[in-house]
Amino acid sequence: MATDKNRATAAAILPLVGGAQNVTSIAHCMTRLRLSLADRSLVDDEALKALPAVMGVVEDDTYQIVLGPGTVARVTPEFEALVAEGHTEAPAELTLTAEELAAQGAAIKEARKAKNATPFKLFLRRIANIFVPLIPALIGCGIIAGINGLLINLGWLPGITPALAAIASGFMALIAVFVGFNTAKEFGGTPILGGAVAAIIVYAGVANIEAFGQKLSPGQGGVLGALGAAVLATYIEKWCRRWVPEALDVLVTPTITVLLSGLVTIFGLMFLAGEVSTGIGTAANWLLDNTGAFAGLVLGGLFLPLVMLGLHQALIPIHTTLIEQQGFTVLLPILAMAGAGQVGCAIAVYKRLRHNTSIRTTIKSALPAGFLGVGEPLIYGVSLPLGRPFITACVGGAAGGAFIGFFSMIGEKVGSTAIGPSGWALFPLLDGNKGLGLTIAIYGGGLLVGYAVGFFATYFFGFSKQMLVDLNADVDAGESAAARSEAAPSAPTPTDGDGKERQPAAV
């Protein structure tokens, strides 16, 4: 039954994005189905948004359909199967007009590329493409680690907890290998060569090697070292492909690639990346230890704009480095407060716009996902289009971030053992330095502060008087205000006693 539902969702989406022939590539992240399209003009945005399973759409370098965590991972394979079937069964006339179809969308695609494909953003997207596939394993291992910690604290199942520790820690012990594999794949190299070079970093035998006058330690440099090693291996491999004769390529290219990049990794990258990784951990701890409330306010308040600009992807390697070093990232719970401010804002909008059925329906459908940390439906469907409520939502996030930052400043650190989830979904992944109960209480308190400040800031400052007049019309979901005004009979113009038109009172 679940498979039928997911296939039905995929089947409903496909014609609304222009059909199989209009889809050139398919991918997904934690919450979004990401499509590259030949012709953007063939997409029916409003019909897509009206689908029950669709929480919203986002336009970036790809066309992104927000389906929510869990759902997107199930719908994507069904969508891929339908697209593959559509390509196979496509009539000849569609194949003959493929170039014409691409030409129609060329101007749109080029305009979007010019707007979004800055070198820095493209670099951040590549970094995200390396780490996002690792998130499911981080979440699964993080939850198991949390369960294991709880069992140890309670003294339960002592015969099982060592096995759970091994299950939870195995992935993190080898995460550098997976990063190397994905890095080489993303930068156009042979993935297994990237993984092979990155594996040097976690090999126990490096403890017998000295670099810069110091003994190396297994894992030194972590994911940053693995990323650098794999990028280097990719460029060496490409150089070899250009210059090594084809008859010798299968023997010489892999050997030179692993040898040269391996030597540079051992005698350079491991030490340098280790220093950078240590610096990141030290900087994060210093920032929260000394300026906790202020740092939390800034991070919590600015995270939503960072998401809008796509710059939040730069934080992914930082989170991963902190988890690798300390067992948890202290930044994610603070950044999660941005979602709490968004939820509080949405509730206030719901209360203020009592007669706007359309917006209230959107909020009712999007709030459950918002509580679980999926903020796109509320951002793109409510606060951002309204303008001022987006700012007051950021104020709520800043207040929640300042709350958690304050406790970090007095020594009560709150962290997450994985990245990806937010809101209530982050509770199973929480960890800290003073016990799980206190950690949960602080994070829960931050959420309540974010909800409350986001609500009151929006309720009292999120709307001008004119906005309330304009937006509080009795508009049903699916029917625009303009359509209702056209359908409604025109009322007679009120006049004064002398027959002149009466002017409306100033708002």
Active site residues: 29
DSSP state of 213: T
Q: What is the rounded CA–CA span in Å between residue 139 and residue 129?
A: 17
Q: What is the rounded CA–CA span in Å between residue 95 and residue 235?
A: 37
Contact 35, 358 (CB under 8 A): no
Which tokens hold the place of 487? 């359908």
Exposed e or buried b per residue across 381-419, where buried means at least 16 C-beta atoms within 10 angstroms of its C-beta? bbbbebebbbbbbbbbbbbbbbbbbbbbbeebbbbbbbb
Q: What is the rounded CA–CA span in Å between residue 411 and residue 8?
A: 51
- Rounded to the nearest 10 degrees, the angle between the axes of helix 316-326 and helix 222-243 is 120
Q: What is the rounded CA–CA span in Å between residue 470 and residue 328?
A: 47
CA distances to 7, 74, 84, 86, 249 from 4, in Å:
5, 11, 18, 18, 48
Contact 145, 169 (CB under 8 A): yes
Which tokens hold the place of 151? 């069992």
- Rounded to the nearest 10 degrees, the angle between the axes of helix 71-89 and helix 2-16 is 60
Q: Which residues pair with 380 in a beta bridge?
A: none
Contact 439, 414 (CB under 8 A): yes
Which tokens hold the place of 2? 């679940």
Q: What is the rounded CA–CA span in Å between residue 147 and residue 161?
A: 9
Token look-up 């394993």 returns 137
Give the sign of the dihedral formed by CA 141, CA 145, CA 148, CA 154: negative
Longest dimension (CA), the chain: 102
Which residues have C-beta within 8 Å of that of residue 264, sequence separation ≥ 6?
229, 232
- Residue (of 104, 91, 102) closest to 24 by Cα position: 102
**What are the start-end ranges of the E strands in 4-104?**
23-28, 32-37, 56-59, 63-66
Token look-up 């359509």 returns 483
**Alpha helices (H) along 117-174:** 119-131, 135-154, 161-173
